[in-house]
Every structure is written in C-alpha cells, then in structure tokens.
C-alpha cells in the first residue's frame, strides 16, 4: 500500500519538481554580491475620523486621498567567514537608496499634490555586520573616523539574503514548509530605516506630515505565517522556483519618529502626540528563485494587498484628541542578485 501511494504521489508531481533539492545558504569567504531591491505601494484613504473629548467628527465624504510610495535599494556585500549556514561577518556598502512618496488630496473638487524625496545619509558608507553568540547581528561603520552616528544604524536590518525564507535543516520539503512572518520583515523592509533626509525641507505642514509618513518604518512587530512550496527545478542551472503565500500583521509605534521630526522642523503643535501607531495587515503571494548551485537567493517577485491604520493621540489645550486614518491598497517587492 505504501509503495502504491508513493507511486501515485510521484505521478501527480510535475516532472520538473525535485524533492531532493536542498534549499540552504552557502557562500565562500571573500564573495562579493550586489543586491537590488525595490518596493512600491499605492494606498487610498477609505475611512477615518477625528475624536475630540469623546466626540467623533468623521472625515468629509468628498475627501479623496492617495499615497504612492516608491523605494529602491542597492547594496554591495563582501562576505567574511560563515558557520551553520549563516554569515559570521559581512561588510555592506549602501550604493544607492531612492525613496519618494507622493500624495494627492482632493476635497470638494480642489486637488493638492505633495511630494517628498528622501536621501540617505548612509549612501557610500561601508558597514560591518557581526553575528554574536546568540545569533543576533550588530553593525558599525568600518571607518572609525566616519561621521556616521550610532543612532543612524539603530533601525537597520541585516537579512538581505532571504535567510528568513529558509526551511529548518533536514526538513522534508515535499509538502512545503512554514516560516514565521517575522522572518520576512527584514528583507521586505528593504534593510530597515536608512536615515532618510528630505532633499528639500518644507515648512508646509502637509509636506511635514507626508515626510513623517515616508520616514516611518515599513514594518514593526510582525505576526503570522508564510507558506512556501517547491515549484519547477532546472537541473542545468540549479535554479529552484519556490511559491510563497503569507499573511502578516504588523504594528509600529512611531511616536519617537514624530517627536524627532517635530523638533527638527519646529512644529511644536504636533510634538505633543503621545501615541502614533501604524498597524498593517498584508496578504502577499508570489515566487522566489533559489540558486542551489550557489546556495543563494537569486530573485523574487511578490505582490500583496495592504490594509493600514494610522492612529495618533494627544492632549492639547485641556482636550484629548485622537486622529484615525484608514488606508487600503496594493504593494509589490522585487529582488535581484548579481555575484561578482
């Protein structure tokens, strides 16, 4: 009976699928790789309200607001030694980081367009990542005389190799595998907060608020799971296609971001916000390609739907005020590896 079942299963599998393939990270010391990542999203305001001392004032029915976010990152990584399928050291140079956010606000037939373009203070800097005994990575500037501030490095994330996609060692991949959604956050966030600085500062409060949104982390604490399954395998190239489906819930407390920006731009009236929470629910699907000969993630193409809620609360002039904004939209991520 068991032999018959295995025969039926093998007949049901496409000929191009290999259950013997190993999905693991493996890189030689001194290897150099350039990684290009991009993220884009389009969100529309679908609801919201301002609550003052318990009295709710809903958003105007004729208010239409859209947010378009485009971000791309290119890094050059030089690997040190590895152990247990993980790099122990790595020197990463951020070659480019382009970040732009556009908003279109239409109320009563009057339209306002706002755009914020950010530059990263870390572009051109070489950063050394080191894995500690607990598996966590720390980062510091390679050049001890560098002007890079420690605070600029706090929001960076390490994994741009797709390590979060990997199954447990020795796992049976025939029926696919599951990884915690938190494993994917680092790579989906395109390296984290790279200390973006607006190309042009504006004293308009609309520009300031849009800049605030642009600087907020894409993700924070994440919950949920991602399901991965083997697809087609090219024996000649060693390229293994992997299908991915994920449901992720995230939350970010962005109050510190807002207060810092308020101090920089001297918007004292907004510095009193005590809570700025950004909550998101994402449904993501797509495919990635793992190069089994190189032991590396080669590329991925993912699309998703986003529901996002921004809640801001403050006490001003003796009144308790809360603003809630609800957005819905779509997002996409792309990744490509070049090995030198």
Phi-psi sector, 224: left (phi>0), alpha (psi -120 to 50), beta: left
Q: Which of 125, 124, 122 is nearest to 151 (CA)?
A: 122
Q: Which of 256, 288, 229 is nearest to 17 (CA)?
A: 229
Q: Which of 271, 294, 301, 273 is nearest to 32 (CA)?
A: 294
Would you list the domain boundaries of the chain? 18-339
| Per-residue pLDDT tens digits for 98-142 | 888 888 888 778 888 888 787 888 899 999 999 998 889 999 999
Helices (H), the chain: 2-12, 150-153, 185-188, 205-215, 255-265
Q: How many Å apart are CA 325 and CA 308, to the nearest integer?
A: 8
7 pLDDT tier (thresholds 50, 70, 90):
very low
Best mean pLDDT range from 18-22, 316-320, 327-331: 327-331
Contact 80, 92 (CB under 8 A): no
Helices (H), 165-204: 185-188
| Per-residue pLDDT tens digits for 252-267 | 877 776 666 666 655 5
- CB half-sphere exposure, 160, CA atoms < 13 A: 31
| Per-residue pLDDT tens digits for 35-93 | 999 999 999 989 888 888 777 777 777 888 898 999 999 999 999 999 988 999 999 99
């Amino acid at each position: 009976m068991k032999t018959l079942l295995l025969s039926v299963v093998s007949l049901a599998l496409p000929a191009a699928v290999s259950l013997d393939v190993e999905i693991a990270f493996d890189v030689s010391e001194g290897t150099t790789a350039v990684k290009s990542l991009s993220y884009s999203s389009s969100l529309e305001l679908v609801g919201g309200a301002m609550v003052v001392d318990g009295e709710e004032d809903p958003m105007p029915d004729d208010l239409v607001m859209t947010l378009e976010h485009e971000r791309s990152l290119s890094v050059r990584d030089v690997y040190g030694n590895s152990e247990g399928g993980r790099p122990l050291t790595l020197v990463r140079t951020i070659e480019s980081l382009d970040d732009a956010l556009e908003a279109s606000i239409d109320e009563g037939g009057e339209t306002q367009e706002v755009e914020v373009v950010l530059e990263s203070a870390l572009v051109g800097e070489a950063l050394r990542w080191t894995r500690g005994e607990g598996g966590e990575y720390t980062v510091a500037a390679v050049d001890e005389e560098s002007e890079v501030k420690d605070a600029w490095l706090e929001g960076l994330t390490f994994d741009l190799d797709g390590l979060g996609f990997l199954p447990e060692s020795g796992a049976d991949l025939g029926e696919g595998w599951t990884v915690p959604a938190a494993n994917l956050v680092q790579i989906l966030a395109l390296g984290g907060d790279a200390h973006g600085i607006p190309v042009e500062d504006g004293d308009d409060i609309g520009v300031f608020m849009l800049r605030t949104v642009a600087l907020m982390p894409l993700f924070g604490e994440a919950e949920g799971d991602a399901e991965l399954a083997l697809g087609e395998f090219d024996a000649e190239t060693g390229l293994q296609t992997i299908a991915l489906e994920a449901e992720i819930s995230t939350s970010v407390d962005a109050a510190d971001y807002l207060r810092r920006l308020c101090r920089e731009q001297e918007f004292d009236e907004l510095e009193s916000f005590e809570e700025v929470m950004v909550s998101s629910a994402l449904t993501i699907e797509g495919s990635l390609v793992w190069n089994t000969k190189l032991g590396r993630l080669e590329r991925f193409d993912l699309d998703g739907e986003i529901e996002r809620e921004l809640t801001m609360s403050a006490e001003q002039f003796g009144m308790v005020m809360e603003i809630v904004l609800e957005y819905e939209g779509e997002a996409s991520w792309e990744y490509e590896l070049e090995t030198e």
